[in-house]
Amino acid sequence: MEFTAKQISELLNGKVEGNPDVKVNMLSKIEEGETGSISFLANPLYTQYIYNTKASVVIVNKDFTATAPIAATLVRVDKAENAFASLLEKYNQIKLNKTGISKQSFIAPSAKVGANAYIGEFAVIGENVRIGNNVKVYPQTYVGDNTVIDDDCTLFAGVKIYSDNVIGKRCIIHSGTVIGSDGFRFAIEAQKKIPQIGNVRIEDDVEVGANCAIDRATLGSTILRKGVKMDNLVHIAHNVEIGSNTYIAANCVIAGSTKIGSNCMLSGQVGVVGHLTIADNTILAAQAGVSKNISKKGEAYLGSPAFEIKKYRKAYIHFRNLETIVERIEKLEKGNK
């Protein structure tokens, strides 16, 4: 894919400064720019690189002022970072614009596949599956019986979706993720597995990272509400509900039947025990271990067991000085004998 600076400026509603006909065919960091690449400058800390970058085109803010000659052609926009993000999105759409059904895939006779779909090699589509328009199913993906995948979804290579699950519009599921595996429930005294007959329901605009596991419900549904974003290596247990627009970083574990509110942020390696309710707009810092309900909205928590981050920071001063504090107490106790 090759574009001129003029075409890029028109796409981004920008203004060209330099050669409008210079061509680019790849993206690069400004400090690693090569001839034929396009980059951007948004962070002032990287300004030094614009004067010697080999990138052919650089996107900059409208108010950028050069203090030395610049070889690259500039495209001035309102916000360089946002413009470059839009460019990345367009580039990704073109790169991933696959269509057609491979002869080496298997689609059950009762399945229905919408228009403009892509089904890759060795993908398996089960009985009574409904796949919407513009859906992309990459090679070696499995979609179990009675599953619904709505329009404009992408399932990357090796995704496994068990039977009876529902995935909304514009969802992205990355490689290695398993959706709808059994929840971890056993009748311990009887030494029997409790059958898991529910499903997973994922609403619109959800993205799930690589190698995640989202368990089906015992009864009812495990639910990811609209706009949820999950990093790699996240485990969502049976009957969990994740509120809309909540972000979950890598290595988080949410135990069964817990309800996470909307607009929450869970940092890496957070663990939440089962049957809890976490209020909207909650922030859980890295490695927080949550063992109690959080009812107050908009609070941040840290530690294991987790408590309010303001209290944690005060307590941490004492944690670090614990040895000194103990020595002082021992001296006082000796002095009183």
Which positions ≥6 away from 175 have C-beta within 8 Å?
138, 156, 157, 158, 159, 210, 211
pLDDT tens for the chain, 337 residues long, are 789 999 999 999 999 999 999 999 999 999 999 999 999 999 999 999 999 999 999 999 999 999 999 999 999 999 999 999 998 888 888 778 888 999 999 999 999 999 999 999 999 999 999 999 999 999 999 999 999 999 999 999 999 999 999 999 999 999 999 999 999 988 888 889 999 999 999 999 999 999 999 999 999 999 999 999 999 999 999 999 999 999 999 999 999 999 999 999 999 999 999 999 999 999 999 999 999 999 999 999 999 999 898 888 888 888 788 888 888 888 888 876 6
Which positions ≥6 away from 51 have C-beta within 8 Å?
66, 68, 69, 70
Query: If residue 315 lies in a helix (H) or strand (E), which one and from where to where?
Result: helix 309-320
Which pair of structure tokens corresponds to residue 29? 């960091």
Which pair of structure tokens corresponds to residue 249? 């970083």
C-alpha to C-alpha distance for 27 and 31, rounded to whole angstroms:
12
Contact (CB, 8 A) for 65 and 10: no
Q: What is the dihedral of CA 284, 289, 294, 297, to 10 degrees?
A: 0
Query: If residue 91 lies in a helix (H) or strand (E), which one and from where to where?
Result: helix 80-95
Which pair of structure tokens corresponds to residue 118? 């892509």
3-state helix, strand, coil in the chain (%, to 5): 20, 30, 55
* Nearest one of 253, 271, 263, 256 to 299, comparing CA atoms: 263
* Nearest one of 91, 81, 159, 146 to 119, comparing CA atoms: 159
Q: Which residues are catalytic?
A: 238
Which pair of structure tokens corresponds to residue 187? 């009748």
Q: Is 43 left (phi over 0), alpha (psi -120 to 50) or beta?
A: beta
Domains of the chain: 3-95 (3.40.1390.10), 100-309 (2.160.10.10)
* Nearest one of 63, 55, 10 to 29, comparing CA atoms: 55
Q: What is the pLDDT of residue 337?
A: 64
